[in-house]
Amino acid sequence: MAGTTGEAWGLTLALIGLHQAEELLWPIDRWSERVGGSGWPALDSALARSALASRSPRRRAAAVSAQAVAAVCAYRATKNSVLATRLTTTALCLGWSGAFAMHLAVSLRTRTVMPGVVTSVVPGLPGAYGVLRRIWG
């Protein structure tokens, strides 16, 4: 495992934080209006309801802030247990890997650069693989 539970959390949160910073700064709503959506109705419906896809920078910042608070709570709840840290950080890495894959798939499907795709590539999926290796190594 990474040197400490703190290291596992640090790597995981750095991976997620980079991606969420891109989500915060590059709004999906303008991309969606320009492109006409992802081509997947269920995803387009979810994006329409998502605070991260809001035109309002404050609403996007509030969503990212809420995620940060939840991550800090999860860290505090698991930091004294190697197993709990491994399981929780693995779940987060896998969940965000699904999001990274979605950004890549939508970008390929629409032949555009969907907001969030840059950090889905670097560090994105390769970074998640590296973090998971450190967590379980």
Give the DSSP per-residue string, 101-132.
HHHHHHHHHHTS--TTSHHIIIIIHHHHHHHH
Q: What is the pLDDT of residues 89-100, one digit of tens each?
A: 999 999 999 999
Q: Where are the domains of the chain?
A: 5-136
Give the predicted TM-score (pTM) of the model. 0.91
Q: What is the pLDDT of residues 2-58, one digit of tens each?
A: 568 999 999 999 999 999 999 999 989 889 989 998 999 999 999 989 999 999 999
Strand, helix or coil at 42? helix
Q: What is the pLDDT of residues 86-132, one digit of tens each?
A: 999 999 999 999 999 999 999 999 999 999 999 999 999 999 999 99
Question: Alpha carbon of 102 to those of 1, 32, 44, 61: distances in Å?
Answer: 28, 14, 12, 21
pLDDT at residue 65 greater than cutoff 60: yes
Q: State phi, psi for 6 to the nearest 5 degrees.
A: -65, -35
